[in-house]
A and B are shown apart, each in its own frame.
Chain A
Amino acid sequence: KNQVEQSPQSLIILEGKNCTLQCNYTVSPFSNLRWYKQDTGRGPVSLTIMTFSENTKSNGRYTATLDADTKQSSLHITASQLSDSASYICVVKEAAGYALNFGKGTSLLVTP
């Protein structure tokens, strides 16, 4: 069964610090990998989408990396802000069909 595992489950960091969230997947065949940010009480919002040929993609202070050989992705947040407090969800799309495989998310809390 295709799976998407995220770690850590939750994380607390001080404002201004950097952090890295991990996503490991077994989805095959692979089409693309997406990172979403979900604020409390709201719907997820896309941060990045990466295809097989892309190793790195940035969106402001967010940088996603993808190693399709080892089936691992990471989301690095630089100089964290209080507004970064949210759940970050990794989603992997299969190349065949319409299926999106969702991770359970990493809950990030940035404290003053």
Chain B
Amino acid sequence: NAGVTQTPKFQVLKTGQSMTLQCAQDMNHEYMSWYRQDPGMGLRLIHYSVGAGITDQGEVPNGYNVSRSTTEDFPLRLLSAAPSQTSVYFCASSYWGASGSSTDTQYFGPGTRLTVL
């Protein structure tokens, strides 16, 4: 298993440009999520999905879109990049129980380091 993969590893954008961060997992996990990590802030949830066709907003969703057309893929789209979106982005996945809760391990990807000029 490759686990959770993210592409690209590094990206530099100009203000106003759009792009998509890719995330894929091969563990058949229902739950997938996107976080951003900024110095001194910890990890903050952007969007999450509990299955194909189901997505919802997290703590900091503004400026980002997601979709989940398959179990494996969960891309994050930046609509019009701003310098405030300079950050390290992590995708994560885990199992989700039928009861709507999970005590299973959340697996993180290696991250995408994004700089917006």
Contacts and interface: CB of A to CB of B under 8 A. Distances in A.
Interface stretch (B11-19, B77-85, B106-114): B106-114
Interface string B93-117: 0000000011111111111000000
A89 B103 contact: no
Contacts of A89: 42-43
Most B CB within 10 A of own CB, among A31, A34, A98: A98
Interface in B41-67: 41-45, 48, 50, 56
Most B CB within 10 A of own CB, among A44, A93, A99: A44
B31 interface: yes
Contacts, number: 45
A100 B45 contact: yes
Contacts of B92: 43
B103 A51 contact: yes
A13 to B, nearest CB: 22
Given A100-B106, A102-B44, A104-B42, 12 more contacts: A31-B101, A44-B90, A46-B106, A49-B103, A49-B104, A93-B101, A93-B102, A95-B101, A99-B45, A102-B43, A103-B42, A104-B41
